[in-house]
A and B are shown apart, each in its own frame.
Chain A
């Protein structure tokens, strides 16, 4: 630890016996004269060679997660922070108060790797967090589980930056990061200070509150000419954030990760449960982080159907798996934990290697917003709210994601994924394709806990899109590559690239049609059963900053080489075996010069807000991107059929298409 100066001031003896009762108002006036004040000033900061987390000691899964070259400094100035601790009494209970503030600090992690008895991995990369903020905390002791006694207010402003390599490597960042949380009395009471629980119980650490005001927002930024964790010279690609109240918030952190080839008994690791509802003022914000800052605001969230309980729930397990070990696998779109081989996805650590395991189970988003506003600098605080929305619910979200440290090219830092991620409507697809009419008719009985993707006019209570959907993302050896040229695709732009030469598969299936968001179980226009499967044995997807219509936008290029198991089927709902099929599709597809732009009603000629997705579509030999490999001349070929009848094949050896799709909310 480097030199530092501590200033300890004991203004009074800390003795509970000497305390006099003190109400919350009085406690809020506590200052440095009343308790213990710790001021930290350091010219050179604090350094640690490594921080380690050991799991499964003495077993075949023993692993050491190592954070290396960790430092905390003042980013060119003195590292400066203060803590004021006080104890008091509210007339019933003794209370502990901690008030902390820190000036601009920079926390750097020089590497993150896994060490096992048999191997040591490369690093996943380097990261820095610039921040300044404060923490105000009052509780009956640090942890207390006897009712709501705690006050909590936390705020942080700064930048989080990640790179794969040393200084000079390309950097992505969550810029202009704002993260605040405060226990309140809810949106209906103007979010006055409220109480919650911060406790340790028999399952671990628990943080809970009936109402919380929460802000998490940032600009996704990219810098391919960075020097060393730069906060200038970056280009914003998009803005994302949520702002407003949460209800019945619960965060639990418990010991126990994942068993070997089974979820239980859990071995050493970490489990994190988060769940809450969305209060009336909650807004999800997505859009541009430049130009007019035009952003979609999803407002007025509600439960899907007559649902109750948490709107959002995430159960996550963090662990390290190695040398062929898995979680026991996942079943896709079916009810229960057992399934046939085609539905079973068993993601396991590669032989002789170790990976971070990120598992989701029993997670969901069973809520949607009922209105949208398109906010921009052209209509600050005057954006019209439309009774119109995009419904995207996740009835059951599960994943097995294994993260292996190490990059694909000369730069050793980075990481790759093996992943199975599923958004599901358990049991719907099997029932909808049943030979028994009664089962087909009842297939959507569980719609309130299913997944849906719909465009909806809430005023008319009608939505169009895919209902009761199952979505699968399955990947093998998928790298995240920052700012590096791809030797196989020299004409692809660099940026934030996902890359695999093994497998990246996407499947979306469900009921195509229209229905009422308030009741998607009946009175539904059942157009067809849709099943799209795109399976690629070579895949690239690059996000990069671009401009569209004169403002900063999110740009994308992509490439897929379809492996022959890709298909699209559209089936009659009342006769699922009567299906149009385009199947055994092989060949190359590419997307270039893609952009996504959002415009408010004050920025369009017809005064209608709009979302525009534009790109070039390259087919077959024109999906080139400078390739010289074996796949680069693959024509796009598929077989056509209806039911069990094969009609023949259709093929395009090449082509350059351009598409521009503009979606508007008509008035």
Chain B
């Protein structure tokens, strides 16, 4: 699968500042030029993760309130290979995502290449072509993704998002845990023994937050101009 971004102008309204990305350099395949076909499916997706939506000032869900031992389930844990039984835990994990009017269209890539075309990008390690016989993606069928709505001056409604990770810490599995699942040798028998269930580490390594200054938990607002072509082989 490859993702190719056509003339893409990304506007990010972050906190109180505005990052305007309309000077992004076109990617190598940008010059693949005009697409053909006009067809579409339009989707809007609204997803709240552990928040109660309140206009532009979301609050964490009631289940995110820590209990007497400091535990709440609003967390995401990751355990990396060779570091088994140690979990990177993102606590106070909640957020909001609203993607408005994503348009998906079936198109064809241009039938001719440009100067940026590099056949080596479409070869296996042994030098054979990933694309049957040609090492060339020209004219392949593709899916074009764009955000056609809310393109008026000052409108930033294509993506609205808010994310809070209040604390990133490393938590170890309970040293006294037992392990009896041979197929998953690092999964303790008792759920409470998982590192991501524990609150033993003092302090916080990091925290992360995406928001807007217009409210305590207001949405970041994003506008996507241009389109993305997705194709595979």
Contacts and interface: CB of A to CB of B under 8 A. Distances in A.
Among B53, B87, B230, B232, the one with the most A-chain Cβ atoms within 10 Å of its Cβ is B232
B130 A574 contact: yes
A444 to B, nearest CB: 13
Nearest to B231: A525
B78 A648 contact: yes
Interface stretch (A39-47, A339-347, A455-463): A455-463
B68 interface: no
Contacts of A514: 106, 141-143
B232 A513 contact: yes
Interface centre among B87, B130, B191 (most CB of A within 10 A): B191
Interface string A640-663: 000000111111111111111111
Interface string A511-523: 0011110000001
Contact of B143 (A437, A460, A464, A649): A464
A652 B77 contact: yes
B78 A649 contact: yes
A592 to B, nearest CB: 13
B48 A658 contact: yes
Give chain A's interface residue range (CB within 8 Å of chain B): 35 or more
Contacts of B205: none
B30 interface: no
Interface string B1-30: 100000000000000000000000000000
Contact of B74 (A460, A575, A584, A654): A654
Interface in A378-431: none
A634 B87 CA distance: 17
Nearest to A513: B232
A272 B184 CA distance: 48
Contacts of B77: 649-653
A351 to B, nearest CB: 29
A662 B232 contact: no
B143 A651 contact: no
Contacts of B187: 637, 649
Nearest to B79: A649
A293 interface: no
Contacts of B75: 652-653
Contacts of A525: 106, 140-143, 230-232
Interface in A527-583: 527-528, 564, 570, 572-575
A527 B42 contact: no
A527 B232 contact: yes
B1 A460 contact: no
A477 interface: no
B47 interface: yes
B190 to A, nearest CB: 10
Given A437-B132, A526-B233, A620-B73, A651 B50 contact: no
A524 B191 CA distance: 45
Contacts of A508: none
B222 interface: no
A633 B61 CA distance: 18
A49 B40 CA distance: 60
B104 interface: yes
Closest 6 CB pairs of A and B: A654-B73, A462-B106, A457-B39, A460-B39, A525-B141, A648-B80
Interface of A: 437, 441, 455-457, 459-464, 513-516, 523-528, 564, 570, 572-575, 584, 608, 620-622, 633-635, 637, 639, 646-666
Interface of B: 1, 37-50, 53, 61, 63, 73-81, 83-84, 87, 93, 101, 103-108, 124, 130-132, 140-143, 148, 183-184, 186-187, 191, 194, 196-197, 230-233
